Every structure is written in structure tokens, then in C-alpha cells.
């Protein structure tokens, strides 16, 4: 284990972006310099940085850094500058398809800079400046949004478990500081419950095949001194059947208008088991994770990743599967809204309507 134990996935100051190489965790804390969008694209694709909010913020900041280095030599007019930004953003969006955060951030930045290009007195430099400031704002906003999710989530879970104290909470994948600009979404809710003295045990799944749970969530839980236990993904149903889970909280990569939720592969297994054993199942994500353009989970594009994530240890180490076997490796699955007790957002909680068996996410029926 390396000396420095950091939970800072993204290190940024104007003109400089560094990413903690999460492929090397928990053994080493190594930062990689990201000077431009090309390097950022590869870093996102190759999982140097991962987690829906973190990849969105990384993309925005990588473009900001690229523009800082380009602005003095750039000779185009403001419209050229906006067109250049649009091209770089759509390139970045092509790195990973499932999480809406990346395309949502790109859309907002593109709209902002295209408007800035027609302002009175606009120059390429002022257009670039709009993007740089907006990207920096996204970094700050993500942490604030996670803190709000943490507060709403702690309250919602305590309500769902009928005021029980000292909870056993299960989570899947990594949704903490390493998946966001800081604090985390679902893991932020666990942090918030822990800060209130309400955690007996946080259970984290391994999250096969890429082990975001055993490598990253476990690392964060140990770092924060939260009493925690690692389980195999295949132990979830048995853990619940033996009455050892009070509630589940997971993150989300995309939530559709009806509340269906795409999240890390294996989330659906956890949700079905929670439904079977009467365990409240919460999704925690910023409201921007809701994609109201899409009505149901059937329309979400699910990323399929390399077969080596299953056939080789850590995707590149020794072969752990029989050579020649076929592999199907979807990185995400979709949990139907009917299995979700509530969606905890940074603006409040959307509770499932028991009668409608659905979640009125598109209508933003928020309550606390």
C-alpha cells in the first residue's frame, strides 16, 4: 500500500488537471497529467477516472485546460471558437455512452459558449473564458450537490427504516469521492449517516468484474474509519435473507422520466433481492442524472466493455478464465422503477408511489 492515502480523484488549478489513476488503487496513489481532450478521452475510456459525475467534470476541465493553453495562439473568430468547442465536446462525449452526466455537461457548455460567441464584443478569448469559468463552476457545484444528497439521503433512510438507529447499509460499486468531485452520492449518504452516528455497518459489494467495490469503496470506507464489511456480489441475497441489511443505497448513471435507473452491472440483482426481502432500496444522484428525454430504461444505451475484464485479473493480469470462452460484459444494467423506494437528489427525495408502482421523476415530484 502506498504512503499517501488520498481521496482526491481530480486535482485542478487553472491550466493544470491531474487525475488519480484509479486503476492502480488501492495499492498506489499516482496522478496522471491531463493536458488536453485527447489524453482525457483515453483516461475516461480506460477508467483512470470513472463514476458518472467525475467523468463529466473531468471532460469539462480537460477542455478548459486545453483552451488555456490554446488561447494566446488561437486566430479564429468567436464563431470558430464556439465550433471548435462543440467539436471537442462531442469527441469527449463519445468516450463512455451510458452516464448522462457527461453529455449533459457537454450540452450545457456547448449552449453557453455558442451564446457567448454572439455577445457584443465577443472574441475567441471571451468565448474560451466562458467555458473555462463554467467548467470550474461544475467542479465546485458537484461537491455542494453531493453534500445536499447526503443530508436528504440520511433523513430519507432514517424515515424508511422507521427511526431505527445504528443502521446496516449496503451499497454497490463506487459512488464516493473517487466517483465525483468529492464526498460522493450514495457513499455521501453513508458518510452523512456515519457523521450522525447512525452507521453500525456499511456493506460494500466487490462489484465484479472491475471491482470498484473492493478496490475503491472499501478504500474510501477504511480511509474514513466507517465500520464496513466487504461481501461478494453473490452474497447479497443471502445477507438480506438473514436479516442483516436495513437499507440499500446506490448511485445512478442515468435515470429516465419514469424512474428506471441505469447503474453499475449487478445493481438490478441487488434491487430484486431487496424487493424480495422487503429492504428499502434507494438511488442517490444529482437531479441532473435524470434524463427526461428518455421515457424508460429500454432506451438507455448500455456500454459493453472488453472481455478481458472477465478473462484476466484486473483486465490485464494473469488469465483467470478458460481460454476460448465467449464473454458478455455489459458495464451497467437497468433497475425498473418498481424496485426503487425513492430517488435521493440534491433537491429532495422522489418517493415511489405505491399505487402507481412508479416514480414521478419527470414531473420532479420532490419532497423531503
Q: Judged by CB under 6 A, does residue 50 bind ligand MRU?
A: yes
Burial class, 132, CB count within 10 angstroms (exposed 0-12 / middle 13-18 / buried 19+): buried
Residue 2 CA, distance from chain mean position: 25
Per CB under 6 A, contacts with ligand MRU among 178-217 are 179-180, 185, 212
Q: What is the dihedral of CA 53, 262, 100, 313, to 10 degrees?
A: 60
Which one of 110-118, 174-182, 274-282, 347-355 is the stretch in contact with ligand MRU (CB under 6 A)? 174-182
Q: Is 336 left (phi over 0), alpha (psi -120 to 50) or beta?
A: beta
Catalytic residue from among 21, 142, 233, 253: 253
Q: Which is nearer to ligand MRU, 185 or 335 (CB)?
A: 185
Please identify which residue in 264, 290, 345, 346 interacts with ligand MRU, judged by CB under 6 A.
264
Cβ pair 138, 146 in contact under 8 A: no
Is position 85 an interface residue for ligand MRU (rule: CB under 6 A)?
Answer: no
- Cβ closest to ligand MRU, residue 180 vs residue 198: 180
**Nearer residue to ligand MRU within complex by CB, 52 or 154:** 52
Active-site residue, 291 included: no
Q: Does 92 bind ligand MRU (CB under 6 A)?
A: no
Residue 71: left (phi > 0), alpha (psi -120 to 50), or beta?
alpha
> What DSSP designation does 188 have?
H
The smaller minimum CB distance to ligand MRU, of residues 82 and 218, is found at 218
Distance of CA 17 to the CA centre of its chain: 19
Sites for ligand MRU among residues 130-169 (CB under 6 A): none
The nearest distance, CB 72 to ligand MRU, in angstroms, is 35
Q: Which is nearer to ligand MRU, 194 or 332 (CB)?
A: 332
Instruction: List the one residue from 17, 19, 23, 51 that touches ligand MRU (CB under 6 A).
Output: 51
Which residue from 20, 52, 154, 221 is in contact with ligand MRU, where contact means CB under 6 A? 52
H-assigned helices in the chain: 37-45, 52-70, 78-93, 100-116, 124-160, 186-195, 218-224, 236-241, 267-276, 308-311
Q: What is the C-alpha to C-alpha distance for residues 206 and 199, in angstroms, rounded to an integer?
A: 20
Q: How far is the CB of 239 from ligand MRU (least distance, A)?
A: 19
The residue number whose beta carbon is nearest to ligand MRU equals 251
Helix (H, G, I), strand (E, B) or coil at 238: helix
Residues identified as active-site: 253
**Site residues for ligand MRU per CB under 6 A:** 50-53, 99, 173, 175, 179-180, 185, 212, 251-253, 263-264, 331
Amino acid at each position: 500500500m502506498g504512503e499517501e492515502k488520498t481521496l482526491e480523484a481530480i486535482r485542478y488549478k487553472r491550466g493544470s488537471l491531474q487525475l488519480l489513476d484509479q486503476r492502480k488503487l488501492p495499492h498506489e496513489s499516482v496522478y496522471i497529467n491531463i493536458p488536453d481532450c485527447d489524453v482525457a478521452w483515453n483516461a475516461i475510456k480506460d477508467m483512470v477516472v470513472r463514476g458518472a459525475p467525475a467523468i463529466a467534470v473531468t471532460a469539462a476541465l480537460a477542455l478548459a485546460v486545453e483552451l488555456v493553453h490554446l488561447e494566446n495562439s488561437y486566430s479564429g473568430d468567436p464563431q470558430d471558437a464556439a465550433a471548435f468547442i462543440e467539436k471537442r465536446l462531442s469527441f469527449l462525449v463519445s468516450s463512455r455512452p451510458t452516464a448522462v452526466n457527461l453529455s449533459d455537461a457537454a450540452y450545457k457548455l456547448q449552449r453557453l459558449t455558442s451564446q457567448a460567441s454572439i455577445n457584443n464584443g465577443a472574441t475567441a478569448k471571451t468565448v474560451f473564458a466562458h467555458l473555462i469559468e463554467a467548467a470550474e463552476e461544475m467542479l465546485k457545484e458537484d461537491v455542494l450537490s453531493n453534500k445536499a444528497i447526503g443530508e436528504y439521503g440520511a433523513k430519507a433512510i432514517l424515515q424508511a427504516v422507521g427511526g431505527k438507529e445504528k443502521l446496516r447499509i449496503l451499497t454497490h460499486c463506487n459512488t464516493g469521492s473517487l466517483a465525483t468531485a468529492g464526498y460522493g452520492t450514495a457513499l455521501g449518504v453513508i458518510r452523512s449517516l456515519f457523521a450522525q452516528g447512525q452507521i453500525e455497518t456499511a456493506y460494500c459489494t466487490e462489484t465484479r468484474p472491475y471491482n470498484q467495490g473492493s478496490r475503491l469503496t472499501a478504500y474510501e470506507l477504511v480511509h474514513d474509519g466507517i465500520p464496513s464489511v466487504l461481501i461478494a456480489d453473490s452474497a447479497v441475497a443471502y445477507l438480506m435473507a438473514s436479516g442483516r441489511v436495513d437499507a440499500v443505497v446506490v448511485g445512478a448513471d442515468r435515470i429516465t422520466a419514469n424512474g428506471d435507473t441505469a447503474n453499475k452491472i449487478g445493481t438490478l440483482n441487488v434491487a430484486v433481492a431487496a424487493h424480495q426481502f422487503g429492504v428499502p432500496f434507494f438511488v442517490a444522484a444529482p437531479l441532473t442524472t435524470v434524463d427526461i428525454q428518455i421515457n424508460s430504461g429500454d432506451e438507455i444505451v448500455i456500454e459493453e466493455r472488453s472481455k478481458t475484464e472477465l478473462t484476466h485479473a484486473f483486465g490485464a493480469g494473469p488469465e483467470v478464465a478458460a481460454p476460448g470462452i465467449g464473454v458478455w460484459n455489459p458495464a451497467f444494467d437497468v433497475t425498473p422503477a418498481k424496485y426503487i423506494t425513492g430517488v435521493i437528489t440534491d433537491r429532495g427525495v422522489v418517493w415511489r408511489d405505491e399505487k402507481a408502482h412508479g416514480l414521478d421523476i419527470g414531473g420532479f415530484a420532490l419532497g423531503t
